[in-house]
Each structure stands twice: as C-alpha cells, then as structure tokens.
Amino acid sequence: MKQRFLLLFTCLSSLCFAQKDTLLIPEEEEDYSQYNNVVEAPTKRYCSSKILGISPSKLISFGYDYIAPHDITAGAISGFLENSSTVNSASGMRIAANFPVISNTKWLINLGVNWWETNYSFKEADKLTHPLLKSMNDNGLRTSGINATVFKPFNEFWFSVVQISGDFNGDYKANQFPNGNQIKYSVSALYGKKKHDRVQLAFGISRTYRAGGQAYFPIMMYNYTAPNKKWGIEALLPARANFRYTLNARNLLLAGFELEGNAYRLNNMMESTPGIGFGSLELKRSELRPRITYEFGLYKFIWLSIQAGYRINYNYNVDDGDFYRSTGSDKPYTFENTLRNALYTNISINLVSP
C-alpha cells in the first residue's frame, strides 16, 4: 500500500513541475520594425454637389401658384379681329418629385417628374371671340414631364453637371392625354470648380425654352456662402438668382428673380377652330419674376415655402412651329399678344433632403 501511494505521489509531482516549466517559457516578441517601410495607398477625394449653408434641396413639392387680375389683348389672325379681355386670375398646381437613384462619391444621378398647370378665369368669358383667349379659358396650359440631373466630380475640386428634361407642353386639359407633337426637351451642361466648402463656380451652355421659343444660352452657376454663414448667393444665370439670408438653421429669407417660360403646342385651339389655316401653332410664353421667398422648417424634413413677387411679361406671342429664332431676327410672329404685368404669390409644402 505504501509503495502504491509513493508511486502516485511521484507521478503527480512530475506533472506539476512539468506544467510549471511550460508556463515559464517566455513568449517571442514581435519585431515591429518590419512595418517601417509599409506605404499607405493614397485615397482619392471627390467634391460633393453642395456647399455649406445652401438652401435645402426639395425631394417632393406640392405647390399652388396664383397670379392676380390683369389684362390681355390677343392679336388678329385669319379673320379673327384683335380681342381684349381681363383675366380675373391665372392659377394652378405645381407638383414635382426628385430622387437620387445613384449616390456615391463618384456619381450623383437624380431622376424627377413634374406637373405644372395654369388655369385662366376671364371676366366676361361668354364674350370672348378670339380662339386663343377661348382656349385659355376652356383648357388652360400644362406641362408634364421627366428630368434627370447628373453630377460627376473628377477630384476634390473639379466637377461637371448635366441636366436633361423632356416635357409635354400644350393646351391639353387635366383629364386629357397629351399629344406626341407637344414634347419639348431641354439640355444644360456645366463644368466648374468647388474652391472650398463655401464656393462653387461653373460655366456651360443650355438649350432651353425659358425665353419662350427654342434658344441657346451661355450659363453660369455661382453658389457662395459668407464665412459667417449668415448670407450667401445661389445663382444659375440667366435662369435665376437669389440672395440668401439665414435667420437660423430652419429659417431662410431669399430675394431674387427667376425667368420662367416654355413653348406650348395649341392642339385644342386648332381643333376647335378648323378654319384658322395653321397646323402647328405654339404659344411662346416667357416671364420674369422678381420675388421674395421665406422658407422654414415645419417638422423635421418638412418645410414650407411662401413666395411673393411681380410677374413681368417678356413673351406671349404665337409662332407657326418650333424653330430657333436668332437674336435680332426680323421674322414676324404669326400673331402677337399683349399681356399686362401682375402681382403673384406661390406657396408650397416640401419634403427636403437631410
């Protein structure tokens, strides 16, 4: 018995001392000098599409535009004498949606849809004799379409912007499907530099209908925020420009102007007046809108925009067809109209980007 106990004690002692010796073996230290020659791969930086302090982009917008009473005179055409009347109001919904479909450091692509309408209410509608005025009263004017904006940064300073839109413009009713001959498209391309997070400057060219007829303009984009971040400039000339004053992060005041315009194919007017003698009449509408805008946050990303200004008529004449009218062209319009200036207001509720 004693021999067995002695043998067991000897075995346990050997195991304990063996484990102790194993634990006392020092760990091999890592030689960090082997990483001294490792070079980090360079990271290319790209500029963003916005600057600090700029007014928030509208993802979804529901608005209503109202123009106060004003006079209009439609010129003589094909046996119809000149006819004057008073417009009690010109008003309509303005709906737009714009969403990013690709958004990363190298590309920003937005797709959007829009619906704008102008409904005319005349003072003595039953006494209208001119086909244009009757069509305005019965049908109004509408624009519906799609658009795309591509922002491409090349590095942390240089970038390009391309905008493309296709719209149905005409005197079709809200419940009437537009015709293919009412499609108009516009294209703009810019190349510029973002000097730092408070300045963007770019130059380019645009094919547009903002002046009423088809036209080509050099364009300039300039966005600036002062060092104190209280005021700035947001401009895409000659289309629009605003001086911006920031009351706080959720209250903005804007003062500036916008040039609005388009060409509208008058299909309903021509169909209701078969003897008019033209087959592709288009209203070349363009107006300058000096204005003051107050924008503020209602709740989180929901903002309200209230705008008031003066609508100054630039073009409201009718041509036979869609063509480029060069500067200084002496080609007469099919008939010319006179639209008086008027006060206007616009209010919209918007879902803005973060």
Q: What is residue 326's predicted lDDT score, i.e. its pLDDT? A: 73
Average pLDDT over residues 126-134: 94
The answer to whether the CB of 348 falls within 8 A of the CB of 63 is yes
Report pLDDT digits (tens) over 137-146. 999 999 999 9
Tokens (6 digits) for 99: 């969403």
For the chain, what is the total number of helices (H) and then of strands (E)?
3, 16
44 located within any domain: no
- Sign of the torsion formed by the C-alpha atoms of 94, 221, 46 and 197: negative
Task: Confirm whether 174 is domain-assigned.
Answer: yes
Residue 49: inside a domain: no
pLDDT confidence bin for 27, thresholds 50/70/90? low
> Does residue 226 fall inside a structural domain?
yes
β-pairing, 302-320 vs 281-299, is: antiparallel
CA 41 to chain centre: 38
Per-residue DSSP letters for 251-300? EEEEEEEEEEEEEEE-HHHHHH-GGG--S-EEEEEEEEEEEEEEEEEEET
Dihedral sign of CA atoms 15, 17, 23, 28 in order = negative
Q: Is residue 22 part of a domain?
A: no
Give the tens place of pLDDT for each residue, 291-349.
Answer: 999 999 999 999 999 999 999 999 999 999 998 887 667 789 999 999 999 999 999 99
- Number of compact structural domains in the chain: 1
* Mean of all residue pLDDT scores within the chain: 90
What are the tens digits of pLDDT across the range 83-121? Answer: 999 999 999 999 999 999 999 999 999 999 999 999 999
Does a structural domain hold residue 180? Answer: yes
User: How confident is the model at residue 43, as a pLDDT?
Assistant: 78
Share of the chain above pLDDT 70, in %: 88
20 assigned to some structural domain: no
pLDDT of residue 330: 75
Rounded average pLDDT over 156-176: 96
Mean pLDDT of 49-73: 97
Percent of the chain with pLDDT over 90: 82
Secondary structure of residue 212 in the 3-state scheme:
coil
* pLDDT of 233 above 80: yes
**55, part of any domain:** no
Among the ranges given (19-23, 75-79, 144-148, 288-292), the one the predictor scored with the smallest mean pLDDT: 19-23
Q: Is the pLDDT of residue 204 over 90?
A: yes
| 235-260 mean pLDDT | 97
**8 A C-beta contact, residue 54 and residue 221:** no
The residue range of the domain holding 239 is 70-352
Residues 6+ apart with CB under 8 A from 90: 66, 67, 70, 118, 119, 120, 121
Average pLDDT over residues 213-219: 95
Inter-residue contact 117 to 93 (CB < 8 Å):
yes
Read off the pLDDT band of 30 (50, 70, 90). Answer: low
